[in-house]
C-alpha cells in the first residue's frame, strides 16, 4: 500500500509468496493465531515481497525447536534454489551453517578473521575463534579418557619404536580411500583409532579421527608425509605427562 500498489496487484504479489512459504491456508489469520515457526515464514515472505537481490536472515532459527528449525532451513534452501536469491545467514549455530550454507565468514570484534567454503573452514580452521565455534560439529579437544589411553600405549612401546598422537582431518574423495590400511602395510606402523566423527556438508563427506601411530621413527615420519600427500590434514597432538 505504501508503494502505491492497488489491492489486485498486492494479491498478485502476496499469494504466490504465501504458497512458497506454505501458508496459503492461513492467509486470513492474525499474528497471535499462528506459531513461532509460522511467524518466521511470514517474515521471510514479507522480506521477499519487495523482490530483493539478497535476503538477510539474522538469527532466524535461534528461538525455534529442532523440527521447526529444519523446516525453516529447508525453506531458505528452497528460496535460494527456486528464486536464485543469495541468502546471508547471521548465526552462532554452526549446525545451521553446516546444514544450509555454501560459504562461511567468521567475524570477531567486528572484523572477518576467516572465510571460505564451509567444508574447508570446518575441516581446516585457522583461527582460535573458528576452532571454538566448530567444536560442536567437530570437537577439537580429546576426552581425558582418550589421553589416558594414549599414555598407556606410550608406556608399552618396545625398544626402537616411537609413538605419536595424530588428529587426521579429511574431506571429499579422501574419505573413501583405504589410506590407513595402506599405511599399515607399506610403512609397517601400528594404528589405534581412539576417537572420531564422520558427517556431511552439502552432500560431501568430512570427518576427523584421532589415531595413535607407533613404529620406527623414520617409517612413522614417512607415513605422516604419505597422509598429507593424500590430502589428509595431519596435526600432531601433544600429550602432557
For residue 63, give every residue at least 6 positions away whose Cβ sits within 8 Å of its Cβ, in sequence order, or none: 36
Q: Which 3-state string (H, E, C) describes 63-119? A: CCCHHHHHHHHHHHHHHHHHHCCEEEEECCCHHHHHHHCCEEEEEECCEEEEEEEHH
Query: Which CATH code is given to the segment(s) 144-236?
Result: 3.30.70.260
Q: Which three cell numbers stand for residue 106?
A: 567468521
Print burial letters for 143-174: b (CB count within 10 Å at least 16), e (below 16).
eeebbebbeeebeeeeeeeebbbbbbbbbeeb
Domain boundaries 7-136, corresponding CATH code:
3.40.50.300
* pLDDT on residue 108: 93
Per-residue model confidence as pLDDT tens for the chain (241 residues) = 777 888 888 888 888 888 888 888 888 888 888 888 888 888 888 888 888 889 888 887 777 778 888 888 888 888 888 888 899 999 888 888 888 888 999 999 999 999 999 888 887 788 889 888 887 777 667 777 878 878 888 887 777 788 888 888 877 776 677 888 888 888 888 888 888 877 777 777 877 888 888 888 888 899 999 888 888 888 888 776 5
The per-residue pLDDT for 111 is 94
Cβ distance 223 to 185 under 8 Å?
no
Pairing of strands 86-90, 54-58: parallel
Given this chain, do its domains 7-136 and 144-236 carry the same CATH topology? no
What residues does each domain of the chain span? 7-136, 144-236
At residue 140, the pLDDT reads 67
C-alpha cell at 196: 572420531
Rounded to 5 degrees, φ, ψ at 124 are: -135, 60
Q: Where are the strands (E) in 94-227, listed by range?
A: 103-108, 111-117, 162-171, 190-201, 204-215
pTM for this prediction: 0.66
Output phi, psi for 125, to 5 deg: -65, 140
Provide the angle, in degrees to the nearest 10, between the axes of the packed helices 7-20 and 36-48.
Answer: 130
Which cell numbers hold the place of 178?
583405504
Distance from C-alpha of 128 to C-alpha of 114, rounded to nearest angstrom: 10
- Cell numbers describing residue 26: 492461513
What's the CA gap between 178 and 194, in Å, rounded?
Answer: 17
Amino acid at each position: 500500500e505504501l508503494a502505491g500498489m492497488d489491492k489486485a496487484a498486492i494479491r498478485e504479489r502476496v499469494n504466490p509468496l504465501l504458497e512458497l512459504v506454505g501458508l496459503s491456508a492461513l492467509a486470513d489469520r492474525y499474528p497471535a493465531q499462528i506459531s513461532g515457526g509460522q511467524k518466521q515464514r511470514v517474515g521471510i515472505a514479507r522480506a521477499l515481497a519487495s523482490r530483493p537481490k539478497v535476503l538477510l536472515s539474522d538469527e532466524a532459527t535461534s528461538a525455534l525447536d529442532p523440527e521447526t528449525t529444519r523446516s525453516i532451513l529447508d525453506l531458505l534452501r528452497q528460496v535460494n534454489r527456486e528464486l536464485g536469491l543469495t541468502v546471508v545467514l547471521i548465526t552462532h549455530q554452526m549446525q545451521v551453517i553446516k546444514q544450509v550454507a555454501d560459504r562461511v565468514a567468521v567475524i570477531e570484534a567486528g572484523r572477518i578473521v576467516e572465510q571460505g567454503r564451509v567444508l574447508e573452514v570446518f575441516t581446516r580452521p585457522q583461527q582460535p575463534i573458528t576452532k571454538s565455534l566448530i567444536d560442536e560439529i567437530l570437537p577439537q579437544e580429546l576426552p581425558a579418557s582418550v589421553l589416558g589411553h594414549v599414555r598407556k600405549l606410550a608406556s608399552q612401546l618396545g625398544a626402537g619404536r616411537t609413538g605419536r598422537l595424530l588428529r587426521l582431518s579429511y574431506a571429499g574423495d579422501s574419505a573413501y580411500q583405504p589410506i590407513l590400511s595402506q599405511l599399515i602395510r607399506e610403512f609397517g606402523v601400528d594404528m589405534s583409532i581412539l576417537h572420531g566423527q564422520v558427517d556431511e556438508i552439502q552432500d560431501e563427506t568430512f570427518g576427523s579421527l584421532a589415531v595413535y601411530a607407533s613404529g620406527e621413527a623414520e617409517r612413522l615420519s614417512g607415513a605422516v608425509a604419505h597422509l598429507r600427500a593424500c590430502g589428509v590434514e595431519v596435526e600432531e597432538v601433544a600429550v602432557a605427562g
